[in-house]
Structure 1
Amino acid sequence: MTHTPQHSPHHGHGGHHPGHSHGAHQARSDGGQAEILDLDAEVLAEHIASITAWLPLKDQPRHIVDLGCGTGAGTFALLERFPDAHITAVDTSAEHLKLLRGKACARGIQERVRTVQADLDHDDWPDLGQPDLVWASASMHHMANPERALRNVRELLAPGGLFAVVELAGVPRFLPAHAPENRPGLEERAHAATNSFHAERVPHRGADWGPMLAVAGFTVEDDRTLTVSVAGARSEAVGRYAYGILQRIRSVAAPALSPEDLTALDELLDTSSPNSLLLREDLSVRTERTVWAARRA
């Protein structure tokens, strides 16, 4: 699901956190963002699978559109969940779509995947067919005009089709509250230092999409919030995921942090330091992910 976003901080799934994306997926591509979207997919795979299993579908979808697909976290989860479906994966990033196609070929399912490069902030969307299911994970909050994008989805959906909007509550947290030992609470202060940046650039992050869906002509059939908590001990990918996201947070937060906090953050991000984030054994991924399942009213 990606989700967020990217990447100056913002995450994936497609995100687009500052790190994701979900990724998302309305951001300019870069190798670091693609890596974070892939790590998001790996670390949160169980949660993405639980959302695809929960979707209140009347029939098995045959055609799915993944809006803001990023490097394919949602795409491949949906292809696994619905083995008879084919997917149109849409993203603004040519690099992300190239990586997604490569993964599809490696899995031998390239015939089930069509990629479309498009900027979904444009009113004139490309022909995406008439899908039974539209999936948008960590991408809708990046739209400059989400109301228009929602109306476009409504026109896109087949009669009786389902629209699933998946959003993270915010950028994941990784460190325990008492860490690092010399600057407890550093992570929360770094996040707070990015608030004005995100409020200006991604004002719909963390929004309640229910009312906006209703205005756009949808009926929300159900919604669900999942608490995400993944212990770092379960996967070394958690450390790399934390490192990538905190790197991006630093790029935005630095001017607002105290010299002491900035020094402590740089020490966490110094891979040669004995206090490197990658060496910590107390990391975990903590966030919330909400999904709204809607049909045309």
Structure 2
Amino acid sequence: MNHASPHTAQHGAHHVSEHDAGDQAEILDLDAEVLAEHIASVIAWLPIETSPRSIVDLGCGTGAGTLALLKHFPEAELTAVDSSAAHLHRLREKAAAAGVAAAGAAGRVHLVQADLDATAWPELGTPELVWASASMHHMADPDRTLQQVHGLLAPGGLFAVVELAGFPRFLPEGAPEDAPGLEERCHAALEHHHAEHVPHRGADWGTKLTEAGFTVEGERTITVSIGPTHTKAVGRYALSSLRRMRGSAASALTAEDLTALDQLLDGDSPHSILHRGDLRVRTERTVWAARRT
């Protein structure tokens, strides 16, 4: 859906520094691995009668949506757009491993490095489906972006906007033992940070899509609840998510909370989140299906 919702590690975040991109690539890959079933269910829900031959993935990240879309629509070719060279390099590797190589005449994936905040976009064809997972809220001017997508789509084409309800939650209530409620306090601090720095998070995308000329044909909120479980992927996903949160939340946490958080993030500590067998993945994502009529 992503991730990555999660994540200014957001699963499809469309512009980050290359230093951040490496960290973000890991969280996006883990989001894709852990939530693959849910990404597939979102795609299957879309009101599509005729399988698209041309798809654009805006803010593709490392390709969670890209590869899921290509699997669901085996006749389609897809143009994946992101501003991060590191993300696109990772997607190229994953596409090759999945047998949909991102290069050459036989490739079904075409990679485009571009800043989606630019007034003029590169040539992206005339897709029947545009997918934007956790990327729209990062746009400097999302209303302009929606109008650009409207002009890009083929008549009758569909725009799928997927947005996440923030970072997932992993710890049970009362954890960690030395700082109960720590995860909720981290989320509260992160929400405050996002309110200042990511103003379009939580926007009313249904209204914005209608104002841009689309007909919203469906809206669906998917509640994800996995676990409790102890798999390496979920443990790494929790570690990467909390590590990512720390950077934005640290200034609002007490010294005691920071100490407890750093113990969770220390892979060598007996208190590390990697060693917990009671982790759950709890998150929500909402999808809007909007038609260019």
Normalising TM by the smaller chain, what interval?
Answer: over 0.9
Corresponding position: 1:236 with 2:232: yes
TM-score, structure 1 normalization: 0.93
Q: 2:272 maps to which residue?
A: 276
Residue-by-residue CA offset, 1:54-81 (whole Å, 9 max, x unaligned): 1101210000000000000000000000
Is residue 117 of structure 1 aligned with residue 106 of structure 2? no
**Aligned-partner SS, 2:32:** helix
2:67 matched to 1:76? yes
Shift of 1:108: 2.3
Do the aligned residues in 2 keep the contact of 1:170 with 1:206 (CA within 8 Å)? no
The answer to whether 1:143 aligns with 2:139 is yes
Partner of 2:104: none
| Residues 4 and 25 in structure 1, CA contact (< 8 A), matched pair in contact too | no
1:27-38, aligned counterparts within 5 Å? Answer: 27-29=16-18, 30-38=21-29
For 1:224, give the aligned amino acid.
R
Q: 1:201: Cα distance to partner?
A: 1.5
Q: Which amino acid aligns with 2:62?
A: T
Please list, as runs of the form range in 1=range in 2, the aligned pairs for 1:1-297 lying within 5 A after superposition: 1-4=1-4, 11=6, 17-18=7-8, 20-29=9-18, 30-110=21-101, 111-231=107-227, 233=229, 235-297=231-293
Deviation at 1:4, TM superposition (A): 2.8
Partner amino acid, structure 2, of 1:27: V
Distance in 2, Cα, partners of 1:136 & 1:261: 35
Q: Distance in 2 between matches of 1:183 and 1:169?
A: 24
Local SS of the residue matching 1:221: strand
Aligned AA (2:15): Q
Q: Secondary structure at the match of 1:127?
A: coil
Conserved 8 A contact 1:3-1:167: no
1:87-136 Cα distance to aligned partner (Å, 9 max, x none):
00000001111111122122221210000000001110111000000000
How many residue pairs are counted as aligned between the two chains?
A: 286
Cα drift, residue 196 of structure 1: 2.5
Give SS of 1:165's match. strand
Give the conservation status (yes or no) of the 8 Å contact 1:65–1:88: yes
- The 3-state SS of whatever aligns with 1:194 is helix
The Cα offsets for residues 234-280 of structure 1, whole Å up to 9 and x where unpaired, read as 63211101111111211221121111111111111111111111000
Structure 1 unmatched ranges of 5 or more: 6-10, 12-16
Q: Secondary structure at the match of 2:172?
A: coil
Aligned residue for 2:271, secondary structure, equals coil
Asked if the contact 1:232–1:239 (Cα under 8 Å) also holds between the matched residues in 2, the reply is: no
Instruction: Normalising by structure 2, report the TM-score.
Output: 0.94
Contact 2:230 2:279 in 1 (8 A): no
Question: One-letter code of the match for 2:98?
Answer: R
Identity, % of aligned positions: 67
Indicate the SS of the match to 2:238: helix
Name which of structure 1's ranges 89-98 and 192-201 shifts more when overlaid on structure 2. 192-201
Partner of 1:8: none
The amino acid that maps onto 2:286 is: T
